[in-house]
Amino acid sequence: MRRKRAALFLTAGALCLLSAAVLAGYNLWDDQRAGASAQKAVAVLQQEIPEEPETTQPITPEAKPMMTAVEIDGRYHIGLLEIPALGLTLPVQNTWSESLLKYSPCLYQGSLADGMIIAGHNYRTHFAKLNTLPVGETIYFTDVDGNRWTYRIVTTEIIPGYDVESMTAGDWDLTLFTCTYGGQERYTVRCSLDTDIGTAT
């Protein structure tokens, strides 16, 4: 009887280890797939975005009925997000859904004029290292019209996963967020437009 129990425990343990290995392998594959998808969109946007905007760029973003978007593989992108400290350049889609997040960060709410909130998966190739960014770090966003905006990180927060009110609170020019490990909370980076630098490229 003891031998049978021992054999059952060993079998169960082996199955648990196998399941963990399969899950880890899938997560790694999914991360790499997402990274490749994002970089494909980056390459297209870098070709589509003009090196200089067609008109003189204002010091702060102007309100528009809708941000210009470029379609790539059936998904619409409003620009490029650059986080130099993490070595990241990522495309940003113009709307949010769980399925779209599997390809690149998405505009969760807002606009350039009233403050963008951008969500990203905690893939290693996307927003996994947001929690390492210090206050004062520079982040750039270039819209598809060629306007480039400079932001500085002002503060960081950890917000409960379903606390939409806290996520959308405050007068921030740019917010980036991603799930923490386990998915129960959201690591959040709050930024202000750097008007001292203005729109210099």
> Can you give the pTM of this predicted structure?
0.81
Look at residues 45, 58, 65 and name the one whose alpha carbon lies nearest to residue 111: 65
16-to-9, 21, 30, 92 alpha-carbon distances in Å? 10, 9, 21, 37
143-to-24, 52, 62 alpha-carbon distances in Å? 35, 11, 12
Is there a contact between 101 and 54 (Cβ–Cβ < 8 Å)?
no
Look at residues 191, 34, 38 and name the one whose alpha carbon lies nearest to residue 117: 191
Q: Which domains does the chain have, with CATH numbers?
A: 47-193 (2.40.260.10)
| Residue 137 DSSP one-character state | -
- Per-residue pLDDT tens, the chain, 201 aa: give them: 666 655 555 555 544 444 444 444 655 768 888 889 899 999 999 999 988 776 566 677 888 878 899 999 999 999 999 999 999 999 999 999 999 999 999 999 999 999 999 999 999 999 999 999 999 999 999 999 999 999 999 999 999 988 999 999 999 999 999 998 777 899 999 999 997 644 433
Percent of the chain with pLDDT over 90: 65
- Helix H, strand E, coil C: the string for 56-85 is CCCCCCCCCCCCCCEEECCEEEEEEEEEHH
Task: Report which secondary-structure segment, H or E, holds 87.
Answer: none
Condensed to tens digits (0 to 9), the pLDDT of residues 140-149 reads 999 999 999 9
Condensed to tens digits (0 to 9), the pLDDT of residues 9-34 reads 555 554 444 444 444 465 576 888 88
